Amino acid sequence: MRRFAVPFACLLALGVTFVTAQQPAPPPPTSVAAEVNGFYTRIAGFITKSAAMVPEDKYGFQPTPEVRSFARLFGHITDDNNGACWALAGEPQQPAAVDTPNSNASGATKMKKAELEKALADSVARCQKAFSMITPANMMEPAGGRGNRTKIGSLIYNTSHINEHYGNIVTYLRLNGMVPPSSGGSAPDMKNMDMKGMKE
């Protein structure tokens, strides 16, 4: 038995070394705009994944008549992105509104799911272009448009604003038995679901 003691002690020492070894910290963002863009990209990704996972026949769903439907939420977020980013992206005019008052009785916009998904994706690409135009030298310049926000301030506000609406989407998804992308993104078995361990 003694002949196994030394190898076992060596393996144990190696194991402790592996457990206690620390991974190097990721490098910090290269700029304020890059850091904000990291937040934006994450939340915009959750929203676009949500738009893809909601079935088209659920796009008209709204918990109460007083709040937006899935379709109008995605449309509103698209308009938020476009409003914050079109000028910063160097475009000559703001894209037409997607979330308009001409919704039908079920709360859905007249746009189909595929059209809304494309409009949303285009708006995210527009904001990514806007982020690419922000530099340490110009980030505190006026963004233009309504209010007196700076260029970086406008992108920070939009990131915060669409994050608020992702909270709405999370609730809508849960009410329809779907797991939000930030928590896994797959539909649960509603009959055998353990509600205690659910995130968000």
Domains (range + CATH), the chain: 37-183 (1.20.120.450)
**How high is the pLDDT of residue 145?**
67
**How high is the pLDDT of residue 3?**
53
Residue 194 has pLDDT above 50, yes or no: no
CA distance 97 to 109: 11
Q: What integer is the mean pLDDT of 17-42? A: 81
Residue 168 near residue 179 (C-beta atoms within 8 A): no
Residue 47 has pLDDT above 90, yes or no: yes
**How high is the pLDDT of residue 41?**
96
Mean pLDDT for all residues in the chain: 82
If one counts every other C-beta atom within 10 angstroms of the C-beta of residue 35, the result is: 13
CA distance 161 to 122: 18
Looking up tokens 């409009």, which residue turns up? 119
CA distance 184 to 187: 9
**How high is the pLDDT of residue 196?**
36
Q: Smallest Cα–Cα separation from 175: which of 51, 64, 44? A: 64
**How high is the pLDDT of residue 144?**
78
Q: Which amino acid makes up residue 61?
A: F
**How high is the pLDDT of residue 146?**
64
Question: Between these two residues, 166 and 186, which has the higher pLDDT value?
Answer: 166
Residue 140 has pLDDT above 90, yes or no: yes
Between 5-14, 19-28, 157-166, the lowest mean confidence (pLDDT) is in 5-14
